[in-house]
Amino acid sequence: MKKDFLAITDWTKEQILDTLELASELKEKQKNGVPHAHLSGKNMAMIFQKPSSRTRMSFQIGMYQLGGQVVYLGPQDIGLGKREAISDVAQTLSRYIDIIMARLFGHEDVLELAHSASVPVINGLTDLLHPCQVMADMQTIFEHKGRREDLKIAWIGDGNNVANSWLNIAARYPMYLALAVPQGYEPDAQILEGARAKGLSQIDVVNDAETAARDADVIYSDVWASMGQEEEALTRQQAFKNFQVNEALMKLAAHDCVFMHCLPAHRGEEVTAGVIDGPQSIVFDEAENRLHTQKAIMVKLFE
């Protein structure tokens, strides 16, 4: 039976940790020039409805490093669900290639793609979830913190797809997750309820950035208006004005707190330049680890 990676909760805690261990091994091999062509002869189709830099580069280069090939399919190449039915696209691609990565708007579209495809499907991002990003985040946190338990993660900003995936990881791995969001911008209610029902992590949703940041080991932010929300930008700037990650907020956190951001970032809005370009920032280690965790995810899907 084929496996997919559509949400972090698709996998058990053990599967997640095994994948992160493999990501570290592949990272070490890459840096030491050790061959690791686990997917030699495999071909991947990458479907993009949204533009991308990190997602495209990390998956494409990652597949090359694993010995495989990639075909990029942009919005005009398929017209997913418009020019051609999603199920037809999935079944056709399954006859040509070995794995599909899709970066889409609607989460229901990636679910339908996976349902109809006979090859593994990876969620490269939807409006609901961004699981590959949070897997890379976890690898980065493990590298920098020197411990894996008793960590407080403070999310400051919008209850968006990355925040929802943080709730998913909190349903699989113990942590203290504090999400500071303005009223009306909370994460998905069903995902929040599901994570709390697991009883594994302490999960707080507050409307005050300082409460979430206090004693945090990690402070995490994202843009206030995501792709597709550009018309809301002015409204969101007003709503989020007290949710900027700045030097004063970082001082409330633990002395060795690190700052994370999935990028792209808007300096002067959700984060100051002094924080994201400062010594506590690990955003580019985080960006690099997209490559290694996604390689590990792809390898695991073929096991």
156, containing H or E segment: strand 152-156
Hey, which residues are catalytic here? 262
Tell me how far apart the alpha carbons of residues 144 and 128 are, in angstroms, rounded to a whole number.
Answer: 28
Q: How far apart are CA 116 and CA 113, in angstroms?
A: 5
Q: What angle do CA 14, 191, 157 make, to 5 degrees?
A: 105
In terms of Cβ atoms closer than 10 Å to its own Cβ (0-12, 13-18, 19+), residue 229 is middle
- Report d(CA 228, CA 24) in Å as an integer: 34
Task: Select from 124, 101, 139, 198 the least CA-distant residue to 16.
Answer: 139
Angstrom distance (rounded) from CA 219 to CA 257: 7
